[in-house]
Amino acid sequence: MDYWQQQEFTIMNLQQKLKADLPASLVVFLVALPLCLGIAMASGAPLFAGIISGVIGGLVVGSLSGSNVSVSGPAAGLTAIVLTAISTLGSYEVFLSAVVLAGLMQLVLGLIKAGSVADYFPNSVVEGMLAGIGVIIFLKQLPHAVGYDRDTEGDMSFEEKGGSNTFTSLMDMFDYMHPTAVILSAISLLLLITWDKVPALKKLKLLPGALAVVATGIVLQEVFTGMGGKWVLQSEHLVTLPVVDSVSALWGIFTLPDFSALVNEKVWIVAATIAIVASLETLLCIEAGDKMDPQKRYSEPNRELLAQGVGNSLSGLIGGLPMTSVVVRTTANITSGAQSRMSAILHGFFLLICVLTIPRLLNKIPLASLAAILLMIGYKLANPSKLWHFYRQGKYQFFPFVITLLAVVFTDLLTGVCIGLGLSILFILRGNMKNAYSFSSESYKDGDRIYIELAQEVSFLNKAAIKRTLSEMPEGSSVVIDASSTQYIAHDILELIKEFRDIVSKQKNIHLELTGFKEDYEIENTSHIKIFSADNKEKYKAVTVTEP
């Protein structure tokens, strides 16, 4: 292939990707717009701070990221940290200096290859996190779908302001249903469901269903407004974007950090907190994104940390919120057919241009229409078929999946994942305990003949299983403990075997043989009555120990 053929191939490849990435970027833009505003509001920050973070997350992080599908922006998981930090530090300008510092810390984490921690997230936990987020999205958007918009967009916490929670909001929404919102969300859902199934609509593939939903929502909202009375959607039911109508107003969007506050140790504590939490959420998201990616491409986590570090530093410098790679936007990107990171870049471009040029049109978008889009995303993330899939894989996969799902729903993303990881570790330890030795036995006329062969590595984690097995040896039996294949035995295990040899075996009249123990184990190779040799162990019938 010569130079011109290579250039032609590259252009065709870009055109093919752009054909998929452009519609996907429009969907992500529509999803990101209210989330950027809602997260800024929930964080106690200026509304445009969320937009700035979304634009940088798209244009800058999207360009530098090693992920083909993840999308970055202000994250719901950071709202509580941001809200508390602004109050603790005394001003938004001081907080911005902490954001810049957090970005620099992320750069250091990327340089020292800290992103490799992402490789240790179990699949069941990541999938449980995704399903949990899907449930949260679905439950949180139901009130918006019927016109109950008390809770801000982007709030992903179970506990809500005013002492309510996700479930109480679901109950309260029946008292605040708005007929126009219900009609708009119903029409929007119907349109989304049928968009890819009706042959006539398939020809409009470049026009995503989400964009058609938003356009339809704006038109119908104007029609209902003309009808007046109870059919009018008030401003709280619509996207509420500040309007920039002059150069001075445009300049007022940006807020500069107060670097004189870097001498304050509280700034460094806030920065470290943001850097750690944002990095963990980002690593979780790109791991989840790779699992959802139809092409199963691998994202380099350390490169992602470097990209996030640059993005957060720049965001803090011009007045934006801290950002992470965000599951909601990433899911919207993947389900809309994105092929490359060009989709994330374009979504940032659309945020910038549309917010500056057509804010009044954007302010006509009903939240009910956007809720319908997010309801579909939530359903795809929490598809009930996943439950059956993990159930069939066995309890070691099913329980971490379910527990992570529930923990994410009832706490928050990081807490839920930590709980899921903890349960997975317990299962790993339990499995490790069971693999400490093989267990064989057969009956003979004077008692039971039992052969225990220790594994290659026997650590203190195996102590409980071995202790229980030895304590259950029947009286008058013959027991062989073979360490011929063992390279390492923890001191705790050696002490346990010594106690069994010197005390328990004599009390129970057990005929014990210890074989294969090295001299440095300081266990004398003795037996009370040697009934058989370890070389003859193949003649004994294997017995599976399910509860050691």
Q: What is the mean pLDDT of residues 350-363?
A: 92
Proportion of the chain above pLDDT 70, given as a percent: 86
Most confident of 82-91, 94-103, 146-155, 198-207: 94-103
The predicted-structure confidence for 437-490, as pLDDT tens digits, reads as follows 555 555 444 556 788 888 877 877 677 778 878 888 888 888 888 888 888 888
212-221, 223-232, 516-525, 529-538: least confident range:
529-538
Alpha-carbon 541 to chain mean position = 46
User: pTM value?
Assistant: 0.77
- Helix, strand, coil abundance in the chain, percent, nearest 5: 65, 10, 25
pLDDT tens-digit map of 478-535: 888 888 888 888 888 888 888 888 888 888 888 888 888 877 666 655 444 333 333 4
Q: How confident is the model at residue 435 (pLDDT cuts 50, 70, 90)?
A: low
Q: Is the pLDDT of residue 147 over 90?
A: yes
Average pLDDT over residues 316-328: 95
What does the alpha-carbon distance between residue 103 and residue 97 come to, in Å, rounded to a whole number? 10
Number of other CB atoms surrounding residue 249 within 10 Å: 11
Among 541, 66, 483, 30, smallest CA distance to 310 is for 66
Burial of 502 per CB tally in 10 Å (0-12, 13-18, 19+): exposed
Q: Are 397 and 126 in contact (CB under 8 A)?
A: no
Choose between 171 and 484: higher pLDDT: 171
In the chain, pLDDT over 90 holds for what percent of residues? 49
Residue 201 has pLDDT above 70, yes or no: no
Residue 50 makes CB contacts below 8 A (sequence gap 6+) with 35, 36, 37, 38, 39, 40, 41, 43, 73, 74, 320, 321
In order of 27, 375, 538, the CA distances from 207 in angstroms are 10, 20, 69
Q: Compute the average pLDDT of residues 542-547.
A: 34
For residues 211-225, average pLDDT: 93
Tens digits of per-residue pLDDT, 240-297?
888 877 766 777 788 999 999 999 999 999 999 999 999 999 999 998 998 899 888 8
Residue 200 is predicted with a pLDDT of 63
478 by DSSP, 3-state: which? strand
Of the candidate ranges 3-12, 36-45, 49-58, 249-258, the one whose mean pLDDT is the lowest: 3-12
Q: What is the mean pLDDT of residues 176-197?
A: 92
pLDDT reported for residue 182: 96
Distance, CA of 284 to CA of 81 (rounded, Å) = 18
Residue 109 has a pLDDT of 96
Mean pLDDT over the full length of the chain: 84
In angstroms, the CA 204 to CA 472 distance is 71
Q: For the chain, how many residues are written?
A: 548
* Of 309 and 10, more confident: 309
Distance CA 297, CA 289 (A): 9
| 447-454/437-444 β-pairing | antiparallel
